[in-house]
Copies of this chain bind each other. A is one copy, B any other.
Amino acid sequence: MSAHAIIQKLQSIYDLTTQERQTIGSLPVHVRDAKAGETLVREGDRPTQCCLVISGLACRFKVVADGSRQIMSFHISGDVPDLQSLHIDVMDHDLGMLQAGKVAFIPHAAILAMNERHPRIAAALWRNTLVDAAIFRQWMVGMGRKSAYSRVAHLICELVVLSQSVGLSDYAIERTPTQEEFGDALGLSVVHVNRTIRALRENGLVSTNGRQLLVADWEGLKSAAEFDPTYLHLKKAA
């Protein structure tokens, strides 16, 4: 039931059989509420369980010496942001909630046992971590070689497609991060994110409804972002 989210997520990148879905659905999970701003797992921790996001918005981040933050990924319903802790003992970054929601904890032992018996599920999970890495690479391209305008547009495209791929929203971002969070993800200041979003609005590419970002011109946004969803490795492209 609470594992429904992860099944839907894995289905978006990998074909699972009914039996495999049942196996995943019967994993032991411990669900709890998580508040906005809460840090779920910390750099240096050695987790013995993985954290599944059921609702809300999570992110992975590091804090640099001067106090600034780099967000490395956003995570919505179905994501397991610390899946890597299955095979990497020490956390090299923090995992926190940006917007309140429910999270489920699943013991490593249960997942490892499942993986031994179900190589296809193991492959799906491995694939999931590889798609994460592909997204990191894409973000690197943005931060290294693209303008702020193109980068912001790209992140919006990505979040929209990922929301869609798990059936959460259509041409909108399920849980829009704040502009400060956009900045921390893109390596930009809040001020510049604000101006860039304004420029996107003035160019008719997006519109805002309070905090929520809505796509006004999908093709235009994609081309401003040079967005090609291949790197998300979804079964069906957007």
Residue ranges of A at the interface with B (Cβ–Cβ < 8 Å): 44, 60, 62, 64-65, 68-70, 72, 84, 87-90, 92-93, 115-116, 119, 122-123, 126-127, 129-134, 136-141, 143-146, 184-187, 226, 230-231, 233
Contact = CB atoms under 8 A, between A and B. Distances in A.
Contacts of A62: 137, 141
A93 B92 CA distance: 25
A132 B133 CA distance: 8
B140 A136 contact: yes
B187 A137 contact: no
Say what secondary structure dominates the interface of chain A.
helix
A130 B87 contact: yes
Contact of A64 (B64, B92, B146): B146
Nearest to A133: B133
Interface core residue of A44, A146, A185 (most chain B CB under 10 Å): A146
